[in-house]
Amino acid sequence: MSLWTREELLELISRWKAAYKAVSHGQSYSIDGRSLTYLNVTEIRAQLSYLQGELESLRTGSGSLRHVKCRTVR
């Protein structure tokens, strides 16, 4: 289960895509007071991958929570 809503994830993905586009053209980009440059492409890709995974978990209903079988010992 994701801690994000679909709308939040789409907004974040849009912001990180804009950052990726900007730095791929040699520009810098700022998100929440952090300045990103071409050197941060790996970090931007990692964020996009994470957010895409979170969005996919919302679509499929899967998530990081797992059901664990247990039994009561008397």
pTM: 0.68
**What pLDDT does residue 72 have?**
61
**What pLDDT does residue 61 have?**
82
**What pLDDT does residue 68 have?**
44
**What pLDDT does residue 12 have?**
96
Cβ–Cβ under 8 Å, residues 19 and 36: yes
Please return the burial class of 8, using the count of CB atoms within 10 Å of its CB with bins 0-12, 13-18 and 19+.
middle
**What pLDDT does residue 8 have?**
96
**What pLDDT does residue 53 have?**
95
Q: Which helix (H) or strand (E) holds 29?
A: strand 29-31
Domains of the chain: which residue ranges?
6-60
Low-confidence ranges of the chain (pLDDT < 70): 1, 62-74
